[in-house]
Structures are given as C-alpha cells and as structure tokens.
Amino acid sequence: MNIYGLLFLLIAHYLIGCGLLKLFRVQLHPVSFSAVAFITGIVILSFIPFILQLFYLPITFSSVLITICVVTFLFSIPLWRSFNQQSFFSFGRKLIPSFKIYEIPYLIIFFFILADSAWLCFYFPPNARDMLTGPETVAEFTVKEHTMLNSAVQLCAETSNNHLKPPFITGLQVIYKLFVAPFGKTWMTLMFFSFVFFLYRLLNERLHPVISGFLLLLFIAMKEPFAYTMIMLFDYANMVVFFLASWFFVRHLEAGDTRLFYFSALLFGLATFIRSETVVFSCMLLLLLWFVYIRKKHGFKTIITRSLLFFIIPFFFYFIWINIFLRFYMPGQFELSGQLNETLPELSSFFIRLRDMTTELVFSDVAVRLWGYFIFTFLGLLVAEIIFGWPIQKQSLYYIYIIIALFTGFAALGCIIPLFDLMTTTKRAFLKMFPLMLIVMRNNTLLLRLTERIKNWENKKEVLISVQKSSTKRVKK
C-alpha cells in the first residue's frame, strides 16, 4: 500500500467535503462535520475519471493528480475564506474523543468489527460477479489503457449489462488503484468508519451512551449489511449517502433553512449517481415536502419552484450518465424500455410483492439470518409507543414516512422492472431503511425516558460521592 498516496487522498476527501459543507453553511458538531466531509469528499472525487472521459482526456496518474489538486483547491475556497484561527483550534479540540468507562466495552467491540472489515477489504480483491463483469474490470483496464472506453467494455457486454452501471465505483477504483493499492477498495473502509462515527455521535446526542452503543451494535453487527462493507457493491455507499440526504431533508423540514434544502437535494443527486433508481425514491418524498410546506403556509410559487428543483437536481445526475454518456460515448445502445415489463403489471402484483417482501425479508428465518433482530427491535419499540399512548415525535413521523415510501417503492419497482427481483436487488435495497429506523429509535419515548432515569441516577451518585469525599476530608482535619 502506498501510504503517501492514501494520505493525499484523505486530505483531498476532507478538504473537498469541508469546503462543500462550508459552501452550504452547514452547522454540525466537529465529529459529525468531519464524518460528512469525508463521505461527500469520497463521492465527489469519484467523478474525476468520468469527467476526464467526457472530454476524451487520457486517464493517467498525472492527469488524475492534477485534476484532484484543482478540484480540491476549488472546493477549499469557501473553507479558506471563512478560516478563523480561534475557531480552528476550538474545532480541533472538540475532535479529541472523551469516553466514559461504560463506553469502553462497546468501543472495543466496535474496534474489532471495524478492524475486521478494514483488513478483509484491504487483503482480498474484489470478487463480486457484478463487479468482475463490470466496474472492477473496466477500472482495471482503464488504468492500463488510460480510457474508460477500453477493451474490457466489449468483453463485459458479452456476459452482462454491469458495465452500464453508474461510474461511481469505477471512478473510485481507478483513483485508488493509481494512488493506493492494486485492489482499490480502501475507500469503502473510509466510508464505513466515517458513517459509524457519525451515527454514534448522532445517537449520543439524545440517548445515554449505554443505549446508543447497544443500538449501534445491533446496526453494524447485521450480517448482510456488514458483508457489504467489504464486498464492493453500490448498495452500502448508496445507503450512506441516501441517509445523509434524508437526514438533512428532515432538518430542513423542521428548521426551514433553505440551504439545507439545496444541500439535501444535492445529496439525493449524489445518491442517484451511485444507484440510478434512487431518483425515483427521492421523488416519492415530494408528498412529504408538499404536506409540510402547506402546513407552514408557504406560497404556491415557493412550493412549485422547490418541487421542481428537488426533482431536477437528482435527475441531472441520472441524465448525464444514462442520456449522455451511455448514449453518445459507450459502444452499443442502452434503452431504458428494455429494462421494463412489456405490459403494464396488474395492481394485484404490487400487493403480492408487498406480501412477499413482508413474509420473506421481514418475518422469516431468512430475515433473522440477514438482519438479526434489528427490525424486530425497531417494530417492538414503535409498538410500545403506540400501546402506551406516548406521542411519537414529529421528526420520527417524517422518518417513518420515508421508510414507508421506500418499502412501497421497492414493491413498485419490483413489479415494473423484472431485474429488480426479491432476494437480490430488493434485499440489498433494504439497506436504505436501516439507518432511518435507527433514528426513529433514537427518538423513541421509552428509550428517552430510560436515558433520563439513568442520567438522574448518575447525577445522584456523583452528588453522593462528592458529599462523602468532603465529609472524609473534614474527619481527617
């Protein structure tokens, strides 16, 4: 592994992400800010080989290096313009972790899980069939032939359509093969680490660390999602970026900050660049946007304008790949109609797919092997709130709507697109819902009340200890 190349890319990811967040004036805790910066920086750098190919520039070490430096400099401009030495040191001090003793067991377990993923990701080459008949092979020959339209494209076309998938993984593999290691893949570890830190910080903002550590352990220990942190596919990265887009979208609905609206729309666009069908799921959130805007009495012009932007921004990322690159650059013809059912499916097939998803991927032995007891924990806590008559927080209702929209969207796409089958594509699409479920559990009334009781007990214990210490000092005197 080229350590210097890895450090260079880490700095580039971080500066690009920080500049993007500063451009939209996103305010976060330094740990969350840094995690989001790394994630967005990774996605943005994935565009570089694709952009070079659009202009028919050779994809070499020198051309990629120069382009990364230029992109990093441009994105860093908002960062340098808002630079303040005092706030910089304050930001750095808040990045230094401080843990309580009861967090240590969780942190040890998290360390071994993260280390296991990182080692397997580094040591083993990409071996998923979808990659070997598409992005990975195209990336390998791009490094050798200096073009994405290389001799591997025709070879992949003879066995599958995986070479037509978005260039997110291809671009990152090209960059990491050139700068870090022959297998690439290290970017997956960086994204996984950043996402775990972001979620842990997010959970700790409302829940006691013992509870948030348990919930996070349930999340990262799910067998199927954990496997995708080392098996190089689009789904885990799409889950991460889609969750961030949904999180900033909900923050916009709560606070009404226009910058958060544009930032969330951009993130939905980046998620679409990773998996093109994401544009459908982002459009399904328009109903929630309209509902909140109408309740807040926004003007008709504002509703229409932002609705159009919320569709156009993600669709742009879909358009540049499907309607420009595949049509005018990639050899052969790609027709979207060829991916759809020839006849319009009956409405009953939609409900049959919903039933199959529920029985096979939620309430079954297969589901337990895939997801552990994460879904059951989510449903149990939600049912407890309903049974005891506790009010479900407005933020949780937003996330529940997004989960329902995703679930029904998976069923609809399964009816329309034959390749969107149940036990492969739909199963992997389920990953998008799990971080959203985690945030709903973060706002659960039962867990919040339990957190309050634990903190009250801790405070009483601290007061008692301080009284005992003071009395002991008086006795000694």
What's the predicted TM-score (pTM) here? 0.94
Q: Which domain holds residue 434?
A: 335-466
> DSSP 3-state assignment of 228?
coil
What tokens does 418 get? 């034959």
Local structure of residue 123 (DSSP, 8 states)? H
Q: Are residues 408 and 363 in the same domain?
A: yes
Final residue of a domain: which of 215, 232, 249? Answer: 232
336 vs 296, more confident? 296
Q: Are residues 443 and 298 in the same domain?
A: no
- CA 38/CA 334 separation, integer angstroms: 33
Q: What is the total count of domains within the chain?
A: 3
Cα–chain center distance at 110: 19
- CA 89/CA 84 separation, integer angstroms: 9
Cβ–Cβ < 8 Å for 220, 113: yes
Q: Report yes or no on 192 lying in a domain.
A: yes
Per-residue model confidence as pLDDT tens digits over 114-157: 999 999 998 898 888 889 888 999 999 999 999 999 888 888 87
Q: Are residues 14 and 52 in the same domain?
A: yes
32 vs 159, more confident? 32
Q: Going by C-beta distance under 8 Å and a sequence separation of 6 or more, which residues neighbour residue 152? A: 137, 138, 140, 141, 163
- CA 284/CA 238 separation, integer angstroms: 17
Q: Are residues 74 and 117 in the same domain?
A: yes
Q: Are residues 225 and 238 in the same domain?
A: no
Q: Are residues 242 and 302 in the same domain?
A: yes
Q: Report yes or no on 330 lying in a domain.
A: no
Q: Are residues 203 and 272 in the same domain?
A: no
Final residue of a domain: which of 232, 251, 269? Answer: 232
Per-residue model confidence as pLDDT tens digits over 5-18: 999 999 999 999 99
Q: Are residues 387 and 306 in the same domain?
A: no
pLDDT of residue 115: 93
Burial of 390 (0-12, 13-18, 19+ CB in 10 A): middle
pLDDT of residue 327: 84
